[in-house]
Every structure is written in C-alpha cells, then in structure tokens.
Amino acid sequence: GIQGPELMERFKQQAARFGTVFVAGRVTAVDLSVRPFRLEVDKQLEGTQTSLVAEAVIVATGASARLLGIEAEEKYLGRGITTCATCDGAFFRDRHVVVVGGGDSAMEEAIFLTRFASKVTVVHRREGLRASKIMADRARANPKIAWKLNRVVVDVVPGDRFLSGIVLRGTGPDEGLEETLDVSPDGGLFIAIGHTPNSQLFAGQLEMHDTGYIKVRNGSSRTSVEGVFAAGDIHDSHYRQAITAAAAGCKAAIDAEKWLEAQGR
C-alpha cells in the first residue's frame, strides 16, 4: 500500500508537472472586494511577507476537529487519541475504546467502532444526549456500547502502543467523583464533539451558515462572490471524507476554469 504523506507528495509532483507554483506559507489576510483578489502570505520558513493577486480563488481550508483542551491531547494525538473513527477504527480491533460526545456524530462513531472494537464506552458530560432519538436509540440498542454519563475526560494513562486508561471526572450529580476507565491493552480515545470550519479569513466577505461553513450555490462550488469557489470540508459539514473532499476539489477546479474562460481570461 501507500501511506498518506507519500500519496500527497505524488499529487504535488503531478501538479508541478502541469505548471503549478507552490508557495510555502500561511495566508494571513484576504481582500475579496478588489479585482484581482489580494492575498497576504506569511512565508514562515523564510521569515518574510509577500502579496499574491488572483483572478480566481478556491477556498479549501477545511475544518478542524474540536478537542477537549486537556494536556494529554498534544502528546497522544495519533498515539491513542484520535478524532476520526473511519480513519483509525481498524487499529483498535478487539480493543476497548472510548468515544467522547453526545451528538449524532458521536453516536455514529460509536456504532461504527463496534465493527472493530470489543467494547465501546460513550462518555458524555450530561445525563441527556444531544443526539436525535433515532441515533441515540440505535446506540443504546447495541450490546457492545456502554455508557459513562455525567463524566468528562481529564487525562489518559499511556499503554505500550496506545492507551491503557482514561481518567474521568464526574459532573452534575456526580461532581467530585474521579475514576480511571480501564481500556488496556492499547485502547483508544475518539473525540467526537464536532468540527470548526477554518473560515475566519473570509468572515464578512463570503456568505456562511450560522455554523461558519461557507455557502455554495446550487450544488456547485460557487460562493457568494463571483470568482471565489469552495471545496471540501470548508463547506461540507456532513461527509467529511478525503474522497468527497478530493471530488469537491475537482468540481471547484472545473468551475473556476469555466468561470475564467467566461471572463475571457
């Protein structure tokens, strides 16, 4: 097989063969009120700033998984702590895993993980779930799923490869309680408390949903500003998969090309 980083490098090499120019840096500001559009870029490796102008822009900044804010996340993310059941579930075959969250996404992740894990424990800070009744009922009916309600995760205990324990603290009626959930050997912690779209750069310039995802028109990649297109998780709050994002990137490239041709560019 081929690993993700190698596949990305091959994509990059292919794009370079067709004349793509790569700029290593971070876009710090965008002005979509002028033509051509203007982008300010911090070239962090060189320690310099530069400006780019563009007739068309494809926004593919994605969405970031919300984390718990505990110290262990930085150390063990990718080493027992993860935010993607479909990506990492198979690594925990016949293991005990914990899913944090109380919404539909958490229920979907928990149910999906029962395909691999020997046991799935759902941890939620409240007694009641935010999930829809149908998703909550499906999860509750699954014999592999256990529940720790009125609990929050405050730490993890490392194992040989992944994790051996999840430290929980009680909330509400269980305030003051602290316990360590045994997930040995080598269990996992799946965080499913939602995503935040990386759309802050475009606030006030592009139309967005209340959740911050960029609005696109009529199933296309076109945004509220002519010449600006959106692809992937920045507008898709539902699927959030690499293959759907790649397809959206293809659509955005075609839409941008056709728009530029129509403008005589």
Per DSSP, 48 falls in state: E
Q: 46-100, pLDDT tens digit by residue?
A: 889 999 999 999 999 999 999 999 999 999 999 999 999 989 999 999 999 999 9
Res 101 pLDDT > 80: yes
Q: Compute CA distances 81 → 76, 88, 242, whole Å.
A: 6, 10, 20
Q: 1-22, pLDDT tens digit by residue?
A: 787 789 999 999 999 999 999 9
Kindly state the helix (H) or strand (E) to which residue 117 belongs, with its residue range: none
| Alpha carbon distance 200, 6 (integer Å) | 30
Q: Are 265 and 259 in contact (CB under 8 A)?
A: no
250 is catalytic: no
Domain final residue, candidates 191, 221, 252:
191
Per DSSP, 200 falls in state: G
Same domain, 31 and 96: no
Q: 208-255, pLDDT tens digit by residue?
A: 999 999 999 998 999 999 999 999 999 998 888 889 999 999 999 999
**pLDDT confidence of residue 36:** 97
Number of H helices, E strands in the chain: 6, 14
Q: 147-202, pLDDT tens digit by residue?
A: 999 999 999 999 999 999 999 999 999 999 999 999 999 999 999 999 999 999 99
The residue annotated as part of the active site, out of 42, 84, 155, 186, is 84
Res 102 pLDDT > 80: yes
Tell me the CATH number at 242: 3.50.50.60
Same domain, 184 and 204: no
Res 45 pLDDT > 80: no
Domain final residue, candidates 128, 162, 191:
191
Domain final residue, candidates 143, 164, 191:
191
Pair of tokens at residue 108 = 């979907």
Q: Which residue has the higher pLDDT, 126 or 1?
A: 126
Same domain, 58 and 79: no
Q: How many domains does the chain have?
A: 2
Closest by CA to 110, choosing from 139, 83, 78, is: 139
Same domain, 135 and 239: no
The residue annotated as part of the active site, out of 87, 137, 182, 250, is 87
Q: Domain residues for 122?
A: 67-191
The pTM is what?
A: 0.77
84 is catalytic: yes
The residue annotated as part of the active site, out of 31, 42, 88, 250, is 88
Res 132 pLDDT > 80: yes
The angle at the Cα of 186, spanning 185 to 191, to the nearest 5 degrees, equals 130
**pLDDT confidence of residue 29:** 97
